[in-house]
Amino acid sequence: MKRRDFGKICASMAATAVAGGPPVALASQRESYPLSGLHTENHQTVTGETLEPGVPYVFFYPYISTPCFLIDLDTEARSGPTHHDPRTGEPYTWLGGVGPNSSIVAFSAICSHKMSHPAREISFINYRHDAVSFYSNAGKSEKKQRVISCCSERSVYDPADGARVLGGPAPQPLAAIELSYDNNTGAISAAASYGGDMYDRFFEKFGFRAAIEHKVNDPAELVGSKTLVRKLTDYSRQTIKC
3-class SS shares of the chain: helix, strand, coil, % to 5: 15, 35, 50
**What phi and psi, each to the nearest 5 degrees, are found at residue 185?**
-110, -15
CATH architecture of 3-121+174-239: 3-layer Sandwich (2.102)
pTM: 0.87
Q: Are 120 and 149 in contact (CB under 8 A)?
A: no
pLDDT of residue 81: 66
Q: Are 71 and 179 in contact (CB under 8 A)?
A: no
164 pLDDT exceeds 80?
A: yes
pLDDT digits (tens, 9 = 90+) for 198-225: 999 999 999 999 999 999 999 999 999 9
- Structural domain spans, the chain: 3-121+174-239
